[in-house]
A and B are shown apart, each in its own frame.
Chain A
Amino acid sequence: MVSILNGKNGLLGETTSQPDFFRDLNLDQVIGAITRPKQEYNLQPFFWIPLRDAETVRYRQEVFQDLENQPVMEYIKEFAEGMSVTRRYLAMIEKLDFDYHKKGWFLEAALVYCDAVMTLARHLDGLPLSSRGLSAFREYLMHYVQLSAYRSLATEGQQVKNALTEVKYCVVIKNGKFKVKRYESEVDYSLELEKTFKKFKQSDAQDYLARLPERTGMSHIEAKILEFVARLYPEPFAALTRFCTEHHRFLDEVIQAFDREIQFYVAYLEFITDLKRQGLPFCYPKVSATSKAVYVRDGFDLALAHAWRYEKKAIVLNDFSLEGPERILVVTGPNQGGKTTFARMFGQLHYLASLGCPVPGREASLFLADHIFTHFERIEDIQSLRGKLEDDLIRIRDALMHATADSIFILNEIFSSTTVQDALFLSKKIMARLMDLDAVAVWVTFLDELASLSEKTVSMVALIDPDDPTRRTFKIVHKPADGLAYALSLARKHGLTCEQLQERIP
């Protein structure tokens, strides 16, 4: 059985830190939110290693698609719950003091484990699975539950449990003294009381039923009671002791690994479920490690969608595409018009695609880059000893040194601290290098000229609402850059355009 995360090589080595572009793309927020509800599995490292191999991406996409089938997801979750309980019980035993108490919990752990495994096997059996990953695991599971080790664990455990459940005894408590005896059909007194007083019921009475906390652990008094009970009913306790000795280590390693790794998928799907319910689209992108013809229809910034999940604000969906020789999206338009969000979306989509995940968009075809280089303005950088401009240039130079034709660049308002003349000059230079490199890029800028530098650039503009220029549309569309559009709309709103003034002034 290979890993559910990687059909070819088994699980890749785990890394201990997130990629350096995570913060710029707000992917740290996204992955944090995805993995937070599942901390016991330590899933973050799985989200820190992108794939470059289209085949493995598809292997994961298949597993995702199987899990989007509601029953499959429910079965996996039920199984995970059982495994989690098993682990919790086994960990707890270490802290207990009394022998029959420990053995009792060991039996519980074994029962929950057997049940979780068998239930999953029964559920997956005959279910239409199309992923290679889940099919292989099902095969393993079917084989496992036939093994005699598993079968004796399950049947003996159940027999011991049944015998213990049948034990019924009485405790009589009076003034610092107690007595334990067998149960002899004494009647339930509370029932009798409830029956007697029922007639006074006017409406639902307040609930006085004390919710005494379910305690685990055992005091010396309860241990004494248990000891007396074991003396009154010796056989079931002897059977329990035999069971514990014979099934000392019962957890299967392959099943344990699957239990953790499948949570990568579960966590991501759970995270996007709410967003889907709000009408936001997700899709499985076509991926390629060679073709740089990329496009997305109705894409959005996943971090923003998550941050706004409780708000009424609608998330604006945007499209982009690069065809033929096109490599660089140059984004211009008014401030606060959604340009940065657009740039982040571009990066997020490519990264999430490289994890094998469904991406935020209605339809997508994406490129598996070898690395994503981002350059966003950072507050703390301004404090550095080097000047801002110098710092920008050094960072870009370093990036270009490590980049290849298969890298993606996301540049957000670089050179904004210098003169237009300088900025234009530097930008053209960097642009030329990117073009030479043939890298894919998004470049957010206030310089209209960059949008039409060559056949490799595509001009994208943040739209404004002509009726109310102060309203933000967050819509980024493919059209020629036009820096004056915003100012003209404002003028029209206040009746100050040429035509308006002609009419207003007699």
Chain B
Amino acid sequence: MMKVFLLYPDRDFDPSAPLPPNAEDLTQDLFLNILLEAMAQGDRFLFQVTRQAMLSPLDEVASILYRQAILKDCLKHPDIVRRIYRIPLEFLERKRRQWLWVSPRHSPPTSVLASARELLEASLDLLRQLRLIADQNVNTFESQGFRRFFTMIQRELDDEYLTRIEQHIQQLRFPQGVLLSAQLGKGNEGSNYVLCYPNDADRNWLQLLFAPRSPSYSYTLHPRDEAGARVLGELRDRGLARAANAVAQAAEHIESFFHVLQRELAFYIGCLNLYEQLMALGEPIAFPQPLPATERQFSCTALYDVTLTLTLGTPVVGNDVSADGKSLIIITGPNRGGKTVFLRSVGLAQLMMQCGMFVPARSFRANLAMGLFTHFRREEDKTMARGKFEEELERMSKIVDCLTPNALLLLNESFAATNEREGSEIARQIVSTLLEKGMKICYVTHLYEFARSFSGNNVLFLRAERLPDGRRTFRLKEARPLETSYGVDLYHKIFGAEKQENMTQ
């Protein structure tokens, strides 16, 4: 079977599989589109495929490693991979240029057959090219995925098979007329018309000359018998229907093979694009170590927010965190101290790891998350009728609808829309219950009451760093929350100057 299987060892990638219900929230909260645009480089198809892959996380360590190995091959042989990718593109280009498409099913079988035959003809040399690349590289690539792919191409598209396709393309022009077998159906009406291969198609003229002749009756239509010609055309169509179906499906299958190839490679092309940009910026990448979902592992060095790097066009500060064995990470500290950026880098790294990509860090390992959920405070509140707090609760309730054990939740300033006491109590009840239910949670918060109510081995406190002179390093340190927040700083920075101005006036 002509299976590409470059994204899964045993199945096709489903480009239209439903995305998790929170796909929109993830995209918005993690600035996912910035990452996807860097991978797509303006190519809409690449954008869609990488988006689909990233939002359909793998939930097994083995399948992540399968993709990682293929991606490593891609990083090693980018030119060959891009050459393979051009084959399906060339097919689509020819299709467009030569106006080739299989006539829709309601067209007469004769025209379905003719159009499908032309499409087959156009794909023949591309299949040969693919064979050649497979022959040349089957031994230089190391990943199981590419080796299987190349071997499959060699086996399925051997010389004999390619020749057979060529012969069919010739015979489907019916040089000896269309031969149909038929039987008498109800009311003696001809039925069960079946296209047959002429017994004498492969005989030469000498064999034909001496072949015994069976009795037959012929009839030639009057040149003006248009009704008769139409009926004859219909009979021909009746006989060709199944053959047309077979050839059209073959053309469609070859086309869909090219589509699948394009789609599955597109993901790796997107990774290549991103890789090249990060290398140019001098940022590190690492192939992460995925661990089973039931464990609680999280360790990274120089984990950075790739969207920030891409936006600024310069390397950014990364964080070293070791939170192995922790189920809850509470992040506190001054505003604009890098808390949200860190939270986002955690989410992005988790998503990238779980679709088989490298991650933006010097090193990274984490347990798999059975679902990633973000609950970020929304600045814009479109719903005037409802209170902000109620809106937050409602969103949380929707998340709870989707939760399964070992999910990862990223909470950013959640439940801050009410007073601290109420917010803390709500947050405490929700978070402690979710922990009991086996979730893993990263929570950026100013709710001191809430933070204080947690302690123990499974909790890690991180705090955004502030230097004695008040400047921020955008680095997180392991530290319990400070009771005063740093909002005052900001206030003075922004309003302070203005105030003095007013006073002098």
Contacts and interface: CB of A to CB of B under 8 A. Distances in A.
A219 B243 CA distance: 25
Interface in A195-220: 196-197, 199-203, 205-210, 212, 215-216, 218-220
B246 A101 contact: no
B132 interface: no
A108 interface: yes
Given A165-B183, A189-B243, A193-B247, A170 B196 contact: yes
A208 B245 contact: yes
Interface of A: 100-101, 103-105, 108, 164-165, 167-190, 192-194, 196-197, 199-203, 205-210, 212, 215-216, 218-222, 224-226, 228-229, 231-232, 240
Contacts of A208: 102, 105, 112, 116, 244-245, 248-249, 252
Contacts of B244: 208-210
Contacts of A224: 219
A199 to B, nearest CB: 5
B250 A200 contact: yes
Contacts of A199: 1-2, 156
Contacts of B194: 188, 190
B181 A170 contact: yes
Interface of B: 1-3, 12, 102, 105-109, 112, 116, 156, 164-165, 168, 174, 176-184, 186-190, 193-199, 214-221, 223, 227-229, 231-232, 234-239, 241-250, 252-254, 256-257, 259-260
Nearest to B156: A199
B236 A210 contact: no
Contact of A216 (B189, B234, B239): B189
14 contacts: A104-B187, A169-B181, A171-B179, A176-B232, A179-B216, A181-B215, A186-B179, A196-B165, A197-B247, A197-B253, A199-B156, A200-B250, A208-B244, A210-B237
Given A209-B245, A232-B215, A170 B250 contact: no
B253 A205 contact: yes
B188 A164 contact: yes
A176 B220 CA distance: 6
Contacts of A164: 184, 188
Given A174-B177, A176-B232, A187 B197 contact: yes
B181 A212 contact: no
A316 B236 CA distance: 62
A178 B219 contact: yes
A176 B219 CA distance: 9
Given A172-B179, A186-B198, A202-B257, A178 B218 contact: yes
A104 B252 contact: no
Given A174-B178, A178-B218, A210-B241, A104 B186 contact: yes
B111 to A, nearest CB: 10
Given A186-B199, A187-B196, 12 more contacts: A104-B187, A167-B183, A169-B183, A171-B180, A173-B236, A181-B215, A187-B197, A189-B195, A194-B246, A205-B256, A210-B109, A219-B231
Given A172-B179, A184-B199, A104 B188 contact: yes
A232 B238 CA distance: 23
Closest 9 CB pairs of A and B: A174-B177, A197-B250, A104-B188, A200-B253, A186-B196, A181-B216, A104-B187, A208-B248, A190-B242
Nearest to A167: B184
A188 to B, nearest CB: 5
B237 A104 contact: no
Given A169-B182, A187-B196, A177 B219 contact: yes
